[in-house]
Structure 1
Amino acid sequence: MSVLVFAESQNGSFKKAAFETVTYGAKTAAALGVECVALTLGTAKDAGQLGVYGASKVFNIADAGLDQVDSQVYTQVIAAVAEQVGAQVVIVPHSSTGKSILGRLAARMNAGSVAGANAVPTVDGGFKVLKGVFSGKAIATIEVKSPVKLISLMGNSLQPEATGSA
């Protein structure tokens, strides 16, 4: 079992959101007692640096055809890797790419999803995720009961934390 994190890159480089997402994935994996696995698609200049933020393994599918975002292809690849690594949680950034694949992944994987999470899930008495609602004026607690759970992480919800080595 594992937590799979899609670390989005652009023009071969990672933005802050990728490091935030991996940090969030590492904290979620620690709460569940499983490993955090990061996935990059397309050209990524230094995918190994994701290990610094808590990923115990990094898969880089370095196909130039994946440099341009295609939500259908990304969905197929992420779902296949999630199955291969036995992911019980899949985390994507709440970016335009993440938003475009979250629903597709949920349908393909028959999984519950939470869009725009802003806190690490609690796992005591169920898998519960916090997210902002009503334009951020309130916070909702969403419990996901499906075997596989999908989360998109709202940007700037937590600071990236260097925890390991590349």
Structure 2
Amino acid sequence: METPYPPSNPAAAPGMSLEVSPSSVQILCATRPWVVFCAVMGFLGALMTLAYGIMMTFFGVVIGQPATPPPTPGGAPPPNITPFIPTLGIFYLVLAVLYLLPSAKLWKFGSAIKRLRLSGSMEDLEQVITQQRGFWKALSILIIVGFVTGVIFFLIMMMTIMATMPKPR
């Protein structure tokens, strides 16, 4: 026997729908073009950084320093920076890989919004929120890594400057 009443859901709050409201879907769909734009720009930035890293590593190894570098104004030979150029290139290669992480998370976020637009289901909304959380988590980790790396490089630079300064007489 059928009842005229909707089935009860004891887990749902009174008056709460398990459907995603059309306005919520519309708001998320309006953000999707910007999410995709940022993801594509992140992928392009990673590609450019990868190209810079490859070129810097290649030219640093192959070309190197000129055979007879011109002397500095004081007459001393210039410092040999040749070993640092490929190292800097490798650093750029690592950066390119790191740039891919938030871009991939943004792309997944945009794809989840597209699925939500097609289905309107609560499960797809949860996926959208999960993908967004993943993006912010990845970005936060990269910010922490960048900050710590910057502090370490600053300390190394300061120690190098202090070690190479002329001693007072």
User: Normalized per residue, which structure has more helix?
Assistant: 2
For normalisation by structure 2, the TM-score amounts to 0.25
The structure whose residues are more often strand, as a share, is: 1
TM-score between both structures, scaled by the size of structure 1:
0.25
